[in-house]
A = this chain, B = another copy of it.
Amino acid sequence: MKRNLTPVYYGDYLQLDKILGAQSLESTRYGETAHDEMLFIIVHQVYELWFKQVLHELNAVIDIFNQEEVKDQQLITVVHRLHRIIQIQQLMNDQISVMETMTPQQFLAFRDYLVPASGFQSIQFKRLEISLGLKREFRIDFDKQSFYNRLSEQDRALLENLEKKPSLFELIENWLARMPLLKRDQFDFWQHYKAATDTLLDNDKKTIYQNDTLTEKEKQQELRDWQSTRDNFDALFDTQKYADLTEQGTFRLSQQAMLSALFIKQYSEEPIFNLPFQLITALTDIDEKLTIWRYRHAMMVQRMLGTKIGTGGSSGHHYLKKTTESNRIFVDFFNMATFLLPKEMLPELPDSIRKYLGFYLGQN
């Protein structure tokens, strides 16, 4: 019970003098107030507040995974915080509809005053991307070259420094790869798994051959796709092939991490994997929502500016659409469904494995 506390007042607590005093219209400065510029400013400020909150949660999660051991209680906290991020992302995605109440014509009334400001200069958004795992080498060419040139020295240093620290992607990758499971050899899960996939893929091949609705040309295409799936499966257990496919962009997660994640997804209904599965699902949701946001944002820019160059002096919406797919982070958790087998094709998890894993996951 707290005592002798200083009384707190709503407006002071929220520092509303700052928050509500931070809207200066450029159009007003030039004597031609554009009614709709207020919306433009406030929508962006709200985004920045949400980014701050998302970074607050994300950094707390990163701190947890920076430890050698992640306890069950901490996994609960992690999942809780990731779910909060997802709720905020949902709101941020819907917020695009608010921006879209501004017509292109209304935007034109003040757009020229904003040159060369650009959403690309949002440091918090870059911090978010980098902290999630979007390091420079993954970003597309245009982005690599120019983004850092636009920043102030201080901001550039901050981001470059951040790029040297382990991202959530890397931490999760390590945490997955560390999972002791795969070093245990008396239970040959992967033997079972390989046999089952052979059966499964043979069956898929038959499905293609028997599909009478396909033309010969299509059949050939399907068979090429099938072969590529076959190759992906093989790569799971072949270090060299895995490295090759990683090079080609098929995989981003390390082989060890991929196998652990696959194991967790296969046995997601096991209590012992409940939290790790919730974690993987939450990261998948975050990637999905961020991708949808990028896509919706690109369409909104197209609608507002067409193919015009943006206020930052670059043509926006083509670039934005390209980043939608290229900037995905946890895309392996999507593609992983490729490798999942139906439950009935999998062996029961033996008790010894359950206990062993329980030890690692803190449920002992």
Residues of A within 8 A of B (CB): 1-3, 5, 7-11, 13-16, 18-24, 26, 30, 35, 38-39, 41-42, 44-46, 48-50, 52-53, 56, 60, 72-73, 76-77, 80, 83-84, 87-88, 90-91, 94-95, 97-98, 101, 103-105, 108-109, 111-124, 142, 145-146, 149-150, 199-200, 203-204, 207-208, 211, 213-215, 217-218, 221-222, 225-226, 228-229, 232, 265-266, 268-271, 274-275, 284, 288, 291-292, 295-296, 299, 302-309, 312-315, 321, 325, 334-345, 362-363
Contact = CB atoms under 8 A, between A and B. Distances in A.
B292 A288 contact: no
A215 B146 contact: yes
A45 B48 CA distance: 11
Contact of A14 (B41, B337, B339): B41
Given A39-B84, A97-B87, A112 B5 contact: yes
A84 to B, nearest CB: 4
Copies per complex of this chain = 4
Given A1-B199, A199-B1, A309-B207, A117 B9 contact: yes
Given A150-B213, A208-B309, A309-B225, A342 B103 contact: no
A307 B225 contact: yes
A350 to B, nearest CB: 16
Given A56-B38, A337-B305, A270 B73 contact: yes
A225 B284 CA distance: 35
Given A5-B30, A73-B270, 11 more contacts: A7-B116, A9-B116, A19-B19, A20-B49, A20-B52, A39-B53, A72-B271, A105-B266, A108-B341, A229-B307, A271-B362
Given A116-B7, A269-B76, A104 B340 contact: yes
